[in-house]
Amino acid sequence: MTTKKPPLGVVLINLGTPDTPDAPGIRRYLKEFLADPRVVNVPRLVWLPILYCFILTFRPRKLVEKYASIWRPAGAPIRAFTQTLADRLHERLNSAYLGRAFRVAPAMTYGNPSIESVVREFQADGINDFLFLPLFPQYAGATIGAVSDKLGQVLSRLTVVPGIRFIDNYHDDPVYVHALTRSIEPHVSALDDASLLVFSFHGIPVAQSEAGDPYRSQCEHTAGLVATRLGLTDTQWKVTFQSRFGPAPWLQPYTDETMESLPEKGIKKVFVVCPGFSADCLETLEEIDMENREIFMEAGGESFTYIPALNDSDDHLGVIEHLVKSHLYDTESALV
């Protein structure tokens, strides 16, 4: 008699978001996020007093209006998109005969639902075999490294350690590059000598890059692959880095400074895509599509187009399904 295997647990992990767009909710989120040494690599004796005495006291109130500007009836966009993507992947994987059942859920590196809560819920239902997929196409210690740290902490607290598989980047995966290209293609015909396609990636401190983090090279590789597929010349596209935090130098060129300088160089029309963000969030919807739009237009720009993240689109679902299936096939002789 054959015993039916429990489902394989697939966990789609994104960065996170406050539970509520008010000061208390933002403060709880920032407390967890900014206390992570992977995010702010400053000696704890120096950083924690700054965090608790100043940043957590004043910054949450300043962010209320920003979060309110992107909040939807379903809540934070990043969580809503990741939940929908997980639900659709669950249905897709279980609609085809793949040798076993799947259970798919979203988790957040910071905030809710936490990685630990999802793992414990799955284990309570008899699932003890996991595939973790951080939705960060390019590896960075501050993102995928942080997920790995969180997962290690979770495993150390479990009585039974599950079997795990972990996808640590997919920056050059052909299916991902194709989906990204398709999202940009409708705008390419509008490119001329006075326009530019900008690939804006979240920045990291220069010190992390110089310490060996492959993030910059992977970002540039992704952008180059997409530009090649689109048939662009070197003068039609540019890589920039956004969201710098603190006084230390971060990867350059900075997105905001680029937007301010482009009009005087004759670039009056920009198309901005953020390939490192799998789902739209504060950094894309507010920082790029609002703040940087204003910077560009006030500097003399005439047209600013933000190209949305892949979010819960059919193409993105295809990317994630492909990554799950290909990883399982690559690691074993058959999909199990």
| Domains (range + CATH), the chain | 8-170+314-331 (3.40.50.1400), 174-307 (3.40.50.1400)
- Cβ pair 226, 178 in contact under 8 A: no
Task: Name the residue among 198, 187, 182, 185 with its Cα closest to residue 301.
Answer: 198
Q: How far apart are CA 31 and CA 22, in angstroms?
A: 14
- What pLDDT score does 188 carry? 87
Query: In the structure encoding, which two tokens stand for residue 122, read together?
Result: 């799955």
Cβ burial of 37 (10 Å; 0-12, 13-18, 19+) is middle
Q: How far apart are CA 194 and CA 297, in angstroms?
A: 14
- Cβ pair 42, 247 in contact under 8 A: no
Q: What is the phi/psi pair of residue 201, to 5°?
A: -110, 150
Q: What's at 260, amino acid-wise?
A: E
End-to-end CA, the chain = 18
- What pLDDT score does 332 carry? 44
Provide CB contacts within 8 A for 113, sequence distance 6+.
105, 106, 107
Mean pLDDT, 10 residues at a time, over the chain (336 residues)?
A: 75 98 98 97 95 97 98 97 98 84 98 98 96 99 98 96 97 99 92 96 98 99 98 97 95 99 98 99 99 99 98 98 88 44
Q: How far apart are CA 141 and CA 39, in angstroms?
A: 8
- Cβ pair 304, 296 in contact under 8 A: yes
